[in-house]
Structure 1
Amino acid sequence: MKFAVLVFPGSNCDIDMYKAVEDVLQQPVDYVWHTATDLSQYDAILVPGGFSYGDYLRCGAIAQLAPVMNEVRKAAEAGKFVLGVCNGFQILTEAGLLPGALIRNKSLKFRCHPVDLKVENANTAFTNAYQTGETIRIPIAHGEGNFYCDDETLKQLQANNQIVFTYEGDNPNGSVANIAGICNERGNVVGMMPHPERAVSELLGSADGAGMFKSVLNAFASKTGAASGAAVR
């Protein structure tokens, strides 16, 4: 399975994402610059956190216009696996790959600390190694992680089981319905504000994020009928 980690001017979690794939999965992974116009060789595309284009205009608003995002849209439509974390989540919403928007934290402060997440949907490409209802501990680092959508969109997310993670206990940003991560209807595109790539080893304070990388390997094995298709937990 081959992974692409996108790199925009201002990305700062691309190395973390690359190392997570390398260390947890030991699968081929490349950095892919924002000017790329072909992602056909990749099975999964990871859109990392940071401050793409300095967060000018609006978080993710300029990055979603980059040439590579046309290829991300094509990959998502083809059923390939796409994960956006933090700024990556913001880019995916701006690009229309996921509904809603990320706005300023209710406190107007940057929040950077571990949080408890409840797994609401364990049937996506990135959560099948978890159990629905399971609590995992993942760090956050954002100033604009307040997920917002209108009432009709929220009803659709709930009806289609598109809410993937919610904050347990303290909601650090004021997001509607405590939402920390969502997916598209097919479950192959996931966006979240917490950083699973920073929680892949107990040396980092938690290994709970490793399950997301193991999950996508499971999803790929299931999709391709690979001999290594035994579920990774």
Structure 2
Amino acid sequence: MPRVAIVKFPGTNCERETLEAVRRVARLDALIVRHDEFDWRAWDALIIPGGFSYGDYVRAGVMATWSKFSEALREGVENGLPVLGICNGFQVLTEAGVLPGVLLPNECGCFVARWVRLRIAEPKGPWLGGYEDGEIVWMPVAHGEGRWWGLEEPRGPSLRYVDNPNGSRWDIAGVSVRDGQVVGMMPHPERAAFPWQAPAGRNPGGLKLFEWLGKALRAGW
């Protein structure tokens, strides 16, 4: 059975929900792994979950890239390892230079926590390949530094806010590289992976992500 590593830093706080989504929805073997014990060769996919790694000191996600995990991350990406960064994990991926752009404080100057609508664009790869192009889904966001900014509009698979909650340029909620092998997203799919998690009238938008991950890895992605 394919194995998924869920990396934990000091300050990570979404690892348990992510573990349950991978095990119960994707139906894959998953373990929580300390950041300094991660070896990409032992895993079929990697998820960097949300939280506040190292307390978000200096700036969100940056101190995680100063650990030896950063080297293992880059090696894994170069060797085809599927990687998903959720919220703080997205911040880690941009700070490590794996994904384009930067994540800045929200335009409102406040912490934003609510369910939002997302439009899936050009879905492909082991994370987003189960969605339809242009599909609208619901997921919750919970961040203070989630405003994506970059010089060029991202190409390829991405997630866009329908109603932008934080001022992200081009309404970016998530970006990818390498045809969707590596994805970073501010919304939390693990908090929208089961029907009982979604408010009335809203679809659990993370369900397809984890269902597709299981299919993709079992098919040998």
Give the structure-1-normalised TM-score. 0.89
Distance across 2 between alignment mates of 1:180 and 1:144 = 12
Are the counterparts in 2 of residues 73 and 97 from structure 1 also a CA contact under 8 Å?
yes
Match of 1:210 among 190, 202, 207: 207
Distance across 2 between alignment mates of 1:124 and 1:12 = 27
| Cross-structure match for 2:58 | 57
Residue range with higher mean Cα deviation, 77-86 or 120-129: 120-129
| Cross-structure match for 1:15 | 16
RMSD: 1.3
Q: What residue ranges of structure 1 are gaps of 5+ in the alignment? A: 225-233
Distance across 2 between alignment mates of 1:109 and 1:171 = 14
The correspondence of residues 1-233 of structure 1 with structure 2, limited to 5 A, is 1-150=2-151, 153-154=152-153, 157-158=154-155, 161-162=156-157, 164-168=158-162, 170-205=163-198, 206-223=203-220
Are the counterparts in 2 of residues 61 and 91 from structure 1 also a CA contact under 8 Å?
yes
1:125 alignment partner AA: P
For residue 30 of structure 1, report the CA deviation from its aligned partner.
0.8
Deviations 1:69-98 (A, max 9, x none): 211211111111100000000000000110
Distance across 2 between alignment mates of 1:186 and 1:69 = 21
Q: What residue ranges of structure 2 are gaps of 5+ in the alignment? A: none
For residue 207 of structure 1, report the CA deviation from its aligned partner.
2.5
- Percent identity between matched residues is 39
Give the structure-2-normalised TM-score. 0.94
Distance across 1 between alignment mates of 2:139 and 2:166 = 15
Distance across 2 between alignment mates of 1:47 and 1:175 = 21
Deviations 1:195-228 (A, max 9, x none): 000001111014220111122223323435xxxx
2:160 alignment partner AA: T
Distance across 1 between alignment mates of 2:45 and 2:129 = 16
Distance across 2 between alignment mates of 1:37 and 1:211 = 27
Distance across 2 between alignment mates of 1:121 and 1:73 = 24
Q: Could you list the runs of 4 or more consecutive aligned residues of structure 1 that deviate by over 6 angstroms after TM superposition?
A: none
